Structure 1
């Protein structure tokens, strides 16, 4: 694994229901929350053995099928692209969670096992009751973030970013997290926007064996990176849009995560705007692109009130704060224009 310059800062002595969320969000920096989930039932169950953790999970499984990724031994636990980036190197399957757990156990001692990865499984719909003894209590702090669970063997989630804030709890096994701030995007060499191994563009750099002749700017990313190894019971706060590379280090690994937005639900993901801008702006002449940059700086990236503060309040319309009513109007207007 490539070395990065800095260790992720650590916060000790916090527990479920009392996380320093305001400080975490205000800092805009990642943080490891050591031992925050150490008393979870799943963490305790996984301490004696892998099988004990599997048995604990199966107590809550309701039998509904789950979607999981399967890869042949030669992908070495790295769901990724084929060599020409036209397809993915794994299959997406559906089956019982009990079957997936059994297959992981069968191959636990293999030097190069097949890859099994249940990603972002909603806990409440497949493992009802698990939250009772395995939850961070974010709801009590005003955060609506239903948890998801991630189950697999030694899987590497290639470096990517999410649009939402994230707290990820290492419940079984150890995981190595390597993080980069958003401004490192150019130095991480993102792959195609579609298809993607997990729903977001990922870095095409092989972190275990980086080719610095092919990807020379990755050196700058490493100098700006931060890393930490999480033990069972530890958690990590990943701010929105921070790139993160995650490696499962044991034959069996389980993680529980919580995603949430810092803005109201009526503000949609900016990914829609990115695709629209790729379509409408990127391939224009450079002079026009620079002019549009000035327009966007004025209306979007500058101070929120600036574009409308010289107008009477009643005349500001979309130049004023966007509320739920204005959001509906904007959505209807855009749909109408795009459908012409």
Structure 2
């Protein structure tokens, strides 16, 4: 009897609903999800191969881009594989432990992605505002330390989320109205006071996203001030060109993130709307980042052409 009661309060499995209310359209919805995932894997894989194999790209900016590509691969894989299993095979079941692990990976690598975008903004600041000190300032050692620090940050601030969620009793329903184990989607199922969980989730956003956005904004204010002082229009265009791909990525990532965040906390939002927005938030940047950098960055286009030319020969 005791074991039966424990299984009710602490379930061995959850059930992910996919897109609530649109179960009949799961097969159709799987097509854009699959296409975006293939774009993310192939695009980011190609970016990694280009940067690693082409020596002209062995510089701080592209090392950070490597980290961003690796992050995008892990982030998209964390949600898409289970999402496609739901859409294609109706495999909605996920063990409680797997759900918590997925929750950790999603939020940890979201934090890492935000941190890498911040580091790339600082890279652009040094390159434009203090170009003579660029290579001396952003050494390989410093880049490695920044990357490790961002990984540690994400791990430390995100780990309490699944740990606290694991302590909650779930005595009403084990069906998650989502396509993956989002922190708040799981917490909302608990039959207990979740104020602490919600407050901590908000704290993580403030400590991570708000801090990163503030640093990015300050970096670009200083970059803009330096650009306005340049006398040559050519120099201004060149400086803006080195930032355009990064700016596009920032706008896409944080705009989608803002909408996803607000649907959890502002008013009554239909579950399917939040699922769509949060899925786009985690799928769109990994799929489009390689295209943005490939189209807007001349060095990557040149390196890609050289790599393809070598492979043909």
TM-score by length of 2: 0.24
Larger RCO (CA within 8 A; separation ≥ 6): 2
Structure having the higher strand fraction is 1
Structure having the higher helix fraction is 2
